Chains A and B, each alone.
Chain A
Amino acid sequence: MPQLLKDGKVIDNPWQIIEANDEADQEALPSGDILVPLSMWLNNQSVLENHSGAVGLWINGDEEIEGIAQSIVTAPVIAINFPKFVDGRGFSVARLLRDRYGFKGELRAVGQIIRDQLFFLKRCGFNAFEFDSEIDLDEGAQSLADFSDAYQVAADQPEPLFKRR
């Protein structure tokens, strides 16, 4: 089974990502836990309710989540896709989901992320990381702790350093 990094540990990843162009046809959905595209999540709840496994969703970093946040924060897993690792929009969307819309489930970074972004991703509220490239996850996990402290308020630190020093 493929693996991912979650809460600092390497674990099995049972979730399958359903690509955006697949129809929401119950027959076509694989069994087991799935992450569906946003449109399917919004438009096919009845189909998804009958799905055998758990259902979460994935969005792109450029999603206008303001309008739909309330209907997605109930998901057990939200994955944010990074089409390119230098596309930093997903960092902002993650913070909105955590800080503004109170999402408490698993927030997963997927796509072309790189190990050296882990500290920043974690600070923005991601707690799970699924790399599209082959990497040694145990080694990569070290990058989560590149820094022991930071100046800014973020999803992992409600108080800025200036109030703690």
Chain B
Amino acid sequence: MYRYDQYDQTIVDERVAQYRDQTQRYLAGTISEEEFLPLRLQNGLYVQRLAPMLRIAVPYGLLSSQQIRKLAHISRKYDKGYVHFTTRQNIQLNWPQLEEVPDILAELASVEMHAIQTSGNCIRNTTTDQYAGVAADEIEDPRPWCEIIRQWSTLHPEFAFLPRKFKIAVCGSEEDRAAFLLHDIGIQLVTNDQGESGFHIFVGGGLGRTPVIASSIREFLPREHLLTYLDAILRVYNRYGNRDNKYKARIKILVRAWTAEVFAERVESEWAHLKDGPATLTGDEIERMKSFFTMPDYKTVDAQALDSELQQTAGQNKAFARWLERNTRTQKQAGYRSVSLSLKPAGVAPGDVTDQQLETIADLADRFSFGELRSTHNQNVVLTDVLVCELFELWELARAAGLATPNIGTINDMICCPGGDYCSLANAKSIPVAEAIQRKFDDLDYVYDLGDLELNISGCMNACGHHHIGHIGILGVDKKGEEWYQIQIGGSASKDAALAKVLGPSLSREAVTDSIEKLLDVYVENRLEGETFLAAYKRIGIDKFKERVYAPTA
């Protein structure tokens, strides 16, 4: 993974000092509330319903065991002994004290971490595939490019006060696991006819009130031009994005108003001035970045023998077999697998982990996974590069720590925003809805039979729980001061990205779980052999689902 040199360290240390000074001036009353707001947001500090919330950056989801141990320590010392993994691969503390945030940032800086630009109207953390570097369908490892973007976007002097937040995702594989078409800029690594690598650039995707799938504005950008081209896009957006109405301020609205073609022309003419300028990437820099993401020291193993041994173990242990099927995945490196540690056992807010579990995760990473791990946008943790013959041992240890619920990719692996329990913007609670669903669908055979199913829950239109792109989405709405829920179906975050459609009038919380069950019944009754929920929906349409859910009860 990327390691700081003295330049990176100095910048992060100076940021801590700057924020410490800002906090002191705020507490002394020399910075007003209004002025402090964007300053603290750009350091990840929200003030939520109950307490401040600090969002810590996890650049493109990559973490070391040392960093995880530091987070465990921070959660014990400054918080209530747990942290929350977000849908953008970051980590949140739910109960820090405003006065102590500078100390927390200093602790983070000691392990090459920060909270820079994790909130506010600026360029946020760049996200990517949690299986970067090991995915069998990978075209190119996206992480060197993510790090190049991280450095370019960190404290960019021109783009710290954009019209609205700005999110970039990079996709380096055949299958999209970064939802890159739902970002302000989506970057897809591609190779052109001459075999040169570059980027296909999309802009204007996003969730929130007006969900939009991004439009292509440049099919092939040679790799050395990445930063000058990004500068051009951001400059056009910074100058012409709407600043009067925050609901119209995202780049997607500008792209839509101008059309993608016109937007592309504006970017190209701005870029004409910047192209080949000093920010043009050099081969040396690209190689330097790639050198941080080399492959670990894999052992040469007899993959076939290991695999048959594994199947044998699985044959004798049903619980292990289930976990193996749902929570592990093969890699391009034979003899190794990637393991998902589920942060979604029933009864725990999705994505929450305790300090003890963090310590266990760090130990597991050291023992089985070369000391590295990844956070995922599904709010789980992935350990890559686990030797197949060590999976059983890992499973036993993870299970003892409550990290081996075999539900990855199932209905119970839902994405869920903090909702009304924590978030001051919420219309409705989301965590209790998730829990009710997990409790309802606790029969594992039934859950597995349903197969891959993405269920996403947001507590309001801001869509932090990505409800528009769930196969089933649940959205909290306010109906005369009461919490109601709208159900949507048919969304997808993969390369054939689609936005979910509203099923019908919103429902009370009690009715939500039963309605989900009805949707699943319709699926089970109508599916063809091997057909997923999403595929069945696409074939049979929304009406059958609708009729069942809204059928008058006898």
Contact = CB atoms under 8 A, between A and B. Distances in A.
Nearest to B288: A162
B7 A165 contact: yes
Contact of B157 (A62, A85, A123, A165): A123
A53 to B, nearest CB: 32
A120 interface: yes
Given A116-B22, A151-B151, A152-B156, A89 B11 contact: no
Interface stretch (B274-282, B318-326, B329-337, B484-492): B274-282
A117 B156 CA distance: 12
Pairs of residues from A and B, 6 with the lowest C-beta to C-beta distance, nearest first = A88-B161, A123-B157, A120-B157, A162-B285, A151-B151, A153-B279
Listed residue (B157, B227, B277) with the most chain A CB atoms within 10 angstroms of its CB: B157
Interface of A: 62, 85-89, 91-93, 95, 100, 114, 116-117, 119-121, 123-124, 143, 146-154, 158-163, 165
Contact of A92 (B235, B277, B282): B235
A152 B279 contact: yes
A45 B277 CA distance: 36
B155 interface: yes
A147 B7 contact: no
B161 A87 contact: yes
Interface residues of B, number: 38
Given A146-B14, A146-B18, A153 B278 contact: yes
Contact of A116 (B10, B35, B235, B278): B35
B157 A154 contact: yes
Nearest to B150: A151
B278 to A, nearest CB: 5
Interface of B: 5, 7, 10-11, 14-15, 17-18, 22, 31, 35, 38-39, 121, 151-152, 154-162, 227, 235, 238-239, 243, 273, 277-279, 281-282, 285, 288
Listed residue (A85, A100, A160, A161) with the most chain B CB atoms within 10 angstroms of its CB: A160
A153 B154 CA distance: 12
Given A92-B235, A158-B278, A100 B273 contact: yes
A92 B238 contact: yes
B465 to A, nearest CB: 27
Contact of A88 (B7, B151, B160, B285): B160
Nearest to B155: A150
Contacts of B238: 88-89, 91-92
A152 B35 CA distance: 25
Contact of A89 (B31, B227, B239): B239
9 contacts: A91-B159, A91-B160, A92-B238, A114-B31, A120-B157, A121-B157, A147-B15, A152-B156, A160-B227
A87 B14 contact: no
A148 B31 CA distance: 23
B32 to A, nearest CB: 9
Contact of A152 (B7, B22, B152): B152
B154 A151 contact: yes
B159 A88 contact: yes
A156 B22 CA distance: 24
A28 B413 CA distance: 71
Contact of B35 (A95, A114, A148, A149): A114
B111 to A, nearest CB: 20
A148 B17 CA distance: 12
Contacts of A163: 278, 282, 285
Given A92-B238, A116-B22, 14 more contacts: A89-B238, A91-B158, A100-B273, A120-B157, A120-B158, A124-B158, A146-B18, A147-B14, A150-B155, A152-B157, A152-B279, A162-B282, A163-B285, A165-B5
A100 B162 CA distance: 21
Contacts of B227: 160
Contacts of A87: 161, 243
Contacts of A100: 273
